[in-house]
Amino acid sequence: MLQPIPGLQFFEEQHRYCYNGEWLAHNVSDIVDMDMTPFKRSMIAKYKDGEDGWAIRGETIHDWCESWLNGKDTEAPEKWKDWIEALRDEKFFKGAETLATEYRVVDPAKSCAGSLDFLLRKNGVIYVGDLKTVSSKKAVSGRKFCSVQLGAYASFLSRLGVFPEMAVMVVVAPGKVKVIEQNIGTCLNSFEEAWGKFQAKQPQF
């Protein structure tokens, strides 16, 4: 298992990272979301809260998955059991070695940090991965591969001497899982392109 990066902290309430006592200017979500339309932002906000909202669904399923990947197969909450049982049965995870879960990474030169969902080794290949939860089987096919996000994680991991070879997005719905893989080079290129675009939009002082 990878050890946490010394001095790197995440503050949930502010949704900001601090490294060696200094606040970082950006997080990976800033780069991923920079082109999001106002309509999409409003729809995300509309369905976020409440007992059936995506926030509690995602948090609960992510927490379960983290425990499961670390060898603690805890009981699935009844409300989200169909999602969790689908993950438990997914063959991608069979025989995989867990290297890290909910792992925080940073690039001080970019003043940017993020938290990857999982880092696995399977058949000698290291995968950096992200878990997405959706409300229905129909919604699975609508999730676009998160190449910028996973490229950022791979770039930041390389600073630690860890070099994933593949990126994977696992999309889970009640009773259905879709696993999408992509070469890490493609993701790194996507992130560098997005980072350049992001920087061009920042105020010049």
Q: Is residue 205 very low, low, confident or very high in pLDDT (cuts 50, 70, 90)?
A: low
pLDDT score for 141? 87
**Residue 147: CA atoms inside 13 Å, Cβ hemisphere, count?**
16
* Cα–Cα distance list, 198 to 32, 66, 110, 121 (Å): 9, 31, 11, 32
What mean pLDDT comes out for the span 27-32? Answer: 93
pLDDT tens column, 112-137: 999 999 999 999 999 999 999 998 99
- Mean of all residue pLDDT scores within the chain: 90
Residue count of the chain, please give it: 205
Q: Which two tokens stand for residue 30?
A: 């800033």
Give the model confidence (pLDDT) of 127-178 as tens digits: 999 999 998 999 998 889 999 999 999 999 999 999 999 999 999 999 999 9
Q: Report the SS3 class of residue 2.
A: coil
Tell me the residue type at 42.
Answer: S
Question: Residue 205's CB: how many other CB atoms inside 10 A?
Answer: 3
